Structure 1
Amino acid sequence: MNPRPSERDDEVDLLIDAWSRRLPDADLSPLDVMSRLRRAANRLSKLRAAAFRDAGLASWEFDVLAALRRQDEPHELSPAHLIAATMIGSAAMTNRLDNLAVRGLVERRPNPRDGRSVLVRLTPEGATRVDEAMRGLVAREAVELETLTRDEQATLARLLRRLSDDPA
């Protein structure tokens, strides 16, 4: 009887087998999960990049535009809130906003509550691009998840949520 594809040895199994011969006293069981997570993350990064590229965006552009798009109308945030949402530094955010403004995907306007600061607003073109990227992304992700049932997907999501919770 042939094993199902998910039951055959994969690269991680072979990696663990090789290391177990070199380090027979080490518990390599964490590799069984973490190495597969790393491989899945790498695959997801490539999938995301392709979806964003098809929409005419780089990954970093999507991150900024998506943070704005998730806001209620008029889809705007201060640069400080964008920095917090995207977890990048101030200088990098300034550069990103400059590039996005030149492309017509965002616009800066004075903050009516504080004349010393600005708000960054998503333009209609920016909304179109980020929506296209998100639609492409979820379509690709759905294809990747077709090998799992809905119940398996829910179980995986629950387990990954526990694993990604910050213990602090």
Structure 2
Amino acid sequence: MKGEREQDQDQDRDAVDRIVEQWASARPDLDASPMRVLGRLSRVTRIVERELKALFSEFGLERGEFDVLATLRRGGTPGGMTAGMLARSSMVTSGAVTNRLDRLVAKGYITRDIDPANRRSVIVALTPAGRDLIDRAVAAHLENERRILAALDPHQQDDLAATLRTLLLSLGDEEATPRTLGDP
């Protein structure tokens, strides 16, 4: 029978611990320790994506639609943004942005008009309904993120954020306008 300390240690183990141990047994010549970080990042990403998808669906949005609305809302210009600016801010292809814009226009959350200063550009702006929706959705999104991170105290969250920033920058992540509040 396991002692109390061993049971506590078992409770603190996750699937990644078991995978790393299995590799150590199957291939003791390999150092599987990077899996401790990257495996957990991958698993956390899947769980968080599922949680975000559920929240966005409560507002009748897909993640990409939320991204567009959030980018327009935080952009700070009441006149809107060009479709090209949106594409650069959201780091997706112009075709993907066009599909998102089409859906949001159909839902009545944005307008798309020719830029009077440059007739080759399209200006995308929030409608009052779109602004109201994104204001409610962002508030719920941030509360959802707080819930997701609740197991970490504020100091741990700061440390994790700093560590992940270091990793991202080392991998060539450029300083850019974030896609949405709290999104990668």
Instruction: Tell me which residue corresponds to 1:134.
Output: 138
User: Cα distance 1:20–1:153, how it changes in 2: closer, same or farther (>3 A)?
Assistant: same
Instruction: Tell me which residue corresponds to 1:90.
Output: 94
SS in 2 for 1:146: coil
2:19 maps to 1:15: yes
Is the contact made by 1:55 and 1:133 (CA closer than 8 Å) also made in structure 2?
yes
1:37 to 36, 41, 48: 41
Is the contact made by 1:68 and 1:75 (CA closer than 8 Å) also made in structure 2?
no
Partners of 1:152 and 1:64 in 2: CA distance: 30
> What do residues 102-142 of structure 1 show as CA deviations (whole Å, max 9, x unaligned)?
11011012212112322001111111222222111211221
SS in 1 for 2:150: helix
Count of residue pairs the alignment pairs up: 168
2:49 maps to 1:49: no
Once the two structures are aligned, what percentage of the paired residues are identical?
35
Moved over 3 A (4+): 1-7
User: Cα distance 1:65–1:97, how it changes in 2: closer, same or farther (>3 A)?
Assistant: same
Where do 5+ consecutive residues of structure 1 fail to align?
A: none
2:131 maps to 1:123: no
User: Cα distance 1:135–1:75, how it changes in 2: closer, same or farther (>3 A)?
Assistant: farther
How far the C-alpha of 1:92 sits from its partner, in A, is: 2.1
Partners of 1:20 and 1:104 in 2: CA distance: 55
User: Cα distance 1:5–1:112, how it changes in 2: closer, same or farther (>3 A)?
Assistant: farther
Partners of 1:18 and 1:130 in 2: CA distance: 46
Where do 5+ consecutive residues of structure 2 fail to align?
A: 173-184
Partners of 2:91 and 2:97 in 1: CA distance: 10
Partners of 1:75 and 1:43 in 2: CA distance: 36
Structure 1 range deviating more: 29-38 or 95-104: 95-104
